[in-house]
């Protein structure tokens, strides 16, 4: 299932999949998920001046199990 198959009138429920303070790890994970046609939304909660906080990775609930399997496969 991909995002195009979700009804346009239906807003997907986004679930938190992963969080980290390491931007490189988050963007590698994002790329991996997108390469497997898993929609991804990033929420950066890091303070740009002090560089504290974290970055959250969200996926639609329909893709949660597939995304978790990919995370386990790449050992994030």
Contact (Cβ atoms closer than 8 angstroms) between residue 64 and residue 16: no
Query: How, if at all, do strands 41-44 and 14-20 pair?
Result: unpaired
Q: How many domains does the chain have?
A: 1
Domain assignment present for residue 1? The answer is no
CATH code of the domain containing 68: 3.30.70.790
What domain range is 64 assigned to?
6-74
Domain assignment present for residue 34? The answer is yes
Domain assignment present for residue 20? The answer is yes
Extended beta strands in 3-75, E state: 14-20, 41-44, 55-60
Q: What is the pTM of this model?
A: 0.79
What's residue 51's pLDDT?
A: 78
Confidence of residue 31 (pLDDT cuts 50, 70, 90): very high
Token pair 């909660």 is at which residue? 45
- Please tell me the distance from the alpha carbon of residue 42 to that of residue 40, in angstroms, as a whole number: 7
pLDDT tens track for 37-56: 999 999 999 887 887 899 99
Q: Is the pLDDT of residue 5 over 60?
A: no
């Amino acid at each position: 299932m991909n995002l195009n198959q979700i009804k346009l009138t239906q807003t997907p429920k986004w679930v938190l999949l992963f969080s980290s303070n390491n931007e490189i790890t988050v963007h590698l994970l994002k790329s991996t998920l997108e390469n497997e046609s898993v929609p991804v939304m990033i929420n950066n909660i890091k303070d740009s001046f002090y560089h504290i906080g974290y970055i959250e990775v969200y996926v639609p609930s329909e893709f949660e199990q597939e995304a978790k399997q990919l995370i386990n496969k790449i050992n994030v």
